[in-house]
């Protein structure tokens, strides 16, 4: 039986090790041609880590190529995308996985470390999306996976830079989905938890054995498939998979003269009532929710 991924071309960034390597192997096993992106070696060519993953894919009977590019540098990413199109004629899948850490409490963090993390995670993902965007638009098909994290969703001590960059993925996803939908492009976010070089030593031995990168990658293959959802955040770890929702409560209307801190405090429980929560399709829909709350109060007091 022919795989739906046969003939598809996937770029996986930061694929020389950890989650990226696992994603690359999983996509190759599904039938895709895989571009294994990782930082260049000392001579500017593909590094040994990326070449090793290519050899693994080839040993499985797959097709892959190593591509060096620093995702924080748009010119390098653009050149990589051009080489991929010249080689295989298309780019169907982009998995933005490349990342770095510069953990430190915010009081002690140098802003250069803040900038470096944002440059790789957030700007790097935007660079890669922009480099493949026109190819996907012209094809009328594309699947983009951005990598957020529990730090971006919920916060983790010592990771203000990383959390800010990872939360930025959600805004990038929602807007790119709106702009790409009519061109057959679907954009989603992965929030993974796995034992890798970036998380080494953080988990108890028993948990670490469950939190393998290979348990996360099936979610990536799903988001890279024809059946992919849209504008969805999928959490993945140890073989468990969740969907994270960004929702807003119906809220309350506070009339002029009743908007003091004390008024907010008195209304806060109702304002926070999750039983009324819903999601919005676009940012402008939030404004409609505000007007709805005002009109609801007018009807109630008429």
Active site residues: 162
- SS3 of residue 21 by DSSP: helix
Between CA 8 and CA 72 the distance in angstroms is 25
- SS3 of residue 33 by DSSP: strand
Nearest-CA neighbor of 148 among 56, 247, 242, 275?
Answer: 242
* Strand 240-244 with 9-12, pairing: unpaired
Which residues, listed in sequence order, are joined to residue 191 by a DSSP beta bridge? 235
**87 sits in which H/E element:** helix 74-88
Let me know the angle formed at the C-alpha of 137 by 246 and 227, rounded to the nearest 5 degrees. Answer: 55
Which residues, listed in sequence order, are joined to residue 241 by a DSSP beta bridge? 236
Between CA 167 and CA 149 the distance in angstroms is 8
């Amino acid at each position: 039986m022919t795989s739906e991924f046969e003939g598809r071309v996937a770029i996986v960034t930061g694929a020389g090790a950890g989650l990226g390597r696992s994603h690359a192997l999983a996509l190759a096993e599904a039938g895709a041609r895989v571009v294994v992106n990782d930082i260049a070696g000392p001579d500017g060519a593909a590094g040994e880590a990326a070449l090793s993953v290519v050899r693994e894919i080839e040993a499985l009977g797959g097709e892959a190529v190593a591509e060096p590019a620093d995702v924080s540098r748009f010119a390098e990413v653009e050149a990589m995308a051009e080489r991929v199109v010249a080689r295989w004629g298309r780019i169907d899948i982009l998995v933005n996985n490349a990342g770095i850490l510069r953990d430190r409490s915010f009081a002690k963090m140098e802003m250069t470390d803040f900038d470096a993390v944002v440059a790789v995670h957030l700007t790097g993902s935007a660079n890669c999306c922009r480099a493949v965007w026109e190819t996907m638009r012209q094809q009328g098909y594309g699947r983009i996976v951005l990598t957020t994290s529990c730090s971006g969703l919920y916060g983790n001590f010592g990771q203000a830079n990383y959390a800010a960059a990872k939360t930025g993925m959600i805004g990038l996803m929602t807007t790119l989905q709106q702009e790409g939908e009519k061109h057959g492009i679907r954009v989603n976010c992965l929030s993974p938890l796995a034992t890798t070089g970036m998380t080494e030593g953080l988990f108890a031995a028993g948990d670490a054995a469950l939190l393998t990168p290979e348990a996360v990658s099936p979610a990536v293959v799903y988001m890279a498939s024809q059946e992919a959802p849209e504008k969805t955040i999928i959490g993945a770890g140890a073989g468990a998979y969740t969907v994270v929702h960004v929702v807003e409560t119906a809220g309350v209307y506070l009339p002029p003269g009743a908007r003091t801190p004390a008024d907010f405090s008195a209304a806060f429980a109702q304002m926070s009532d999750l039983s009324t929560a819903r999601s919005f399709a676009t940012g402008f829909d939030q404004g409609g929710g505000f007007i709805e709350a005002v009109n609801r109060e007018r009807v109630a007091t008429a």
